[in-house]
Structure 1
Amino acid sequence: MAENKLFTYSPISERPAITWPGGARVAVYVGLNVEHFLVDRPSTSIWPGSANLVPDPLNYGWRDYGARVGIWRTIESLDRHGIRASVLLNSAVAHHYPQIIEAGRARNWAWLAHGRTNSILHTGMERDEERQFLTDVIDTIATATGQRPRGWMGPGLTETFHTPELLAELGLSYVLDWTNDDQPYPLTVPGMISVPYSVELNDLILFGKGCSGPEFVRMVRDQYEQLHADSEHSGRVMALALHPFVIGQPFRHKYLDQALEFLAGQEGAWLTTSDEIAEEYLRQHPTHPTRPRELGDHPVA
């Protein structure tokens, strides 16, 4: 019966207008999940029949394809269309796949903290334990990439009741976990906002439900066109969520390329990063300067 203390209800029809740079109507970013998985823990699986085996070559190999092959194919397409990735980065990637970090640094990617590994969800920690964990994750990413993360998305979009507060203490300004809007909006934690992400326009979800390549391209077009229509009086955000072990499969590559070609060709689109979206929103709509009483001591429903 707990009430949601993290954000308040705000109908999109009753907000101050958002204007994006250059008169763009839709801010578009690619959320590229760059993750590390443990060989002795179950995680995202293509076939559940072996998911609890240790080791699980079928599912582990499917996931591992992303770091070995799929990411490089995806990078080719992003480069071709001049799109910088917003990378949702497990900090363990810095140790296991430094070549990916090097490639991202050369392309000036935006780096978001995404926990340590996607084999472990971000939950079940007391405040002090979580503070120490988040500090390690963020410092590891900052050292490896040369950029301190500004944003967070938990593995599996997970948080504790204290996560946004602790992230704010560590200098971050936004989270992607709450996928409930087409615009950024302020949290009750001072200085913290939510930036839209998508569990619908998300290759892992779509292709896991049997979506075909041509259907994926059509969905990208439909998403953009509807958001563009909605944005006549106030800007919207379109997030395209990608996982290299899914979208990086050879038979899907040309469809990613077609989708990115469409987005790159839209005059009303601001092709950007989640960092820049958050920065622009905060410039136009500074968050409340004082901390709510006892915030973080109450569960979020």
Structure 2
Amino acid sequence: MTLPFTYRPIIERPSIEWPNKATVAVYIGLNVEHFLVDRPSTSIWPGTADLVPDALNYGWRDYGARVGIWRTIESFDRHGVRPSVLLNSDVAAHYPQIIEAGRQRDWAWLAHGRTNSVLHTNLEPDEERRVLTDVVDTIANAVGRRPRGWMGPGLTETAHTPRLLAELGLDYLLDWTNDDQPYELTVPGLLSVPYSVELNDLMLFGNQGTSGPEFVRIVRDQYEQLRKETNPSGRVLAIALHPFVIGQAFRARYLDEALAYLAAQPDAWLTTSDEIATHYRKQISNWSS
């Protein structure tokens, strides 16, 4: 298999300039997902993950849609943050109230497969085309516009996914978490936009036992280091959040603190992944003219 990108180190690229002389483009990747009750998925304790029903783990995940998302929305509203929503298309049928809340706030919407209980793997091209078409059309009908970006469930793809996404009119993806800047993929018209599996609440709080104050410090450290590196070229800071993790009551104040810090930075551009892709395309056009 050939990778959908070529190697180009960050020291050998044209300079990226963000709007209003910002140095770091910051966006929140908010995972809004639906899980199947009879399939194992993301678990807080693997000991019951293969049971049907798995009340322990399913209930933990389901907290996000029932409670955590609404607490998280309050934080976003306080700090003027429009998240980039990584949306399972099944959410449209199961949690229409979340869709309506996002429509009212003009969230950015990205396709994130049907459900995070099924990885986007082992699909023949024709079958994958049908799956992707259904996901994109379902999201478009629910939110009122077609998604531009993609992130696979569990950041999974097949060898054909980028090409098929481009055929459907999508213009960027988040699956390849290998950079602090957007870059062009080898599929014409398709970009990679940075995402993070490290600055990610599921990894930090779940796998590494990070505390709330440590989370705030990590966000600050990431921002301050990227800002130092922006001469001469801008960077992207992506924060990945899951409502069943960051939406827990005892973590709410720390999300607030992290967002307050970022919103107060005069050289931060608080934006969406859609807007990052759009502005980067303008940069490409300027470089070639």
TM-score bin (small chain): over 0.9
What is the TM-score with the length of structure 2 in the denominator? 0.98
- Which residue, out of 130, 133, 155, partners 1:132? 130
Q: Which amino acid counterpart does residue 216 of structure 2 have in structure 1?
A: V
How many angstroms apart in 1 are the aligned matches of 2:3 and 2:264? 41
How many angstroms apart in 1 are the aligned matches of 2:37 and 2:281? 40
| Cα distance, 1:125 vs structure 2 | 0.2
Q: Secondary structure at the match of 1:165?
A: helix
More helix by share: 2
Equivalent position of 2:59 in the other structure: 61
Q: Which amino acid counterpart does residue 167 of structure 2 have in structure 1?
A: E
Matches within 5 A, 1:109-188: 109-188=107-186
Q: Secondary structure at the match of 2:155?
A: coil
- Which residue, out of 204, 207, 217, partners 2:205? 207
| Cα distance, 1:147 vs structure 2 | 1.4
Query: Deviation digits for residues 5-52 of structure 1, max 9, x if unmatched?
Result: 311000000000100000000000000000000000000000000000
What is the TM-score with the length of structure 1 in the denominator? 0.94
Equivalent position of 1:192 in the other structure: 190
Q: Which amino acid counterpart does residue 114 of structure 1 have in structure 2?
A: H
Equivalent position of 1:253 in the other structure: 252
Query: Deviation digits for residues 168-210 of structure 1, max 9, x if unmatched?
Result: 0000000000000000000000000100000000000000110
Equivalent position of 2:283 in the other structure: 284
How many angstroms apart in 2 are the aligned matches of 1:6 and 1:172? 15
How many angstroms apart in 2 are the aligned matches of 1:93 and 1:232? 41
Query: Deviation digits for residues 243-292 of structure 1, max 9, x if unmatched?
Result: 000000000000000000000000010000000000110111159x9xxx
Equivalent position of 2:225 in the other structure: 226
How many angstroms apart in 2 are the aligned matches of 1:226 and 1:75? 28
Q: Secondary structure at the match of 2:240?
A: strand
How many angstroms apart in 1 are the aligned matches of 2:285 and 2:246? 36
Q: Which amino acid counterpart does residue 181 of structure 2 have in structure 1?
A: Q
Q: Which amino acid counterpart does residue 220 of structure 1 have in structure 2?
A: V
Gaps of 5+ in 2: none
How many angstroms apart in 2 are the aligned matches of 1:239 and 1:51? 29
How many angstroms apart in 1 are the aligned matches of 2:3 and 2:213? 41
Equivalent position of 2:272 in the other structure: 273
1:77 corresponds to 2:75: yes
How many angstroms apart in 2 are the aligned matches of 1:237 and 1:169? 27
How many angstroms apart in 2 are the aligned matches of 1:151 and 1:6? 16
Percent of aligned pairs with the same residue?
A: 76
- Cα RMSD after superposing both structures: 1.1
How many angstroms apart in 1 are the aligned matches of 2:118 and 2:285? 34
Gaps of 5+ in 1: 290-301
Q: Which amino acid counterpart does residue 267 of structure 1 have in structure 2?
A: P
Equivalent position of 2:263 in the other structure: 264
Equivalent position of 2:43 in the other structure: 45
Where in structure 1 do 4 or more consecutive aligned residues deviate above 4 Å?
none
Q: Which amino acid counterpart does residue 202 of structure 2 have in structure 1?
A: L
How many angstroms apart in 2 are the aligned matches of 1:41 and 1:162? 26
Q: Which amino acid counterpart does residue 73 of structure 2 have in structure 1?
A: I
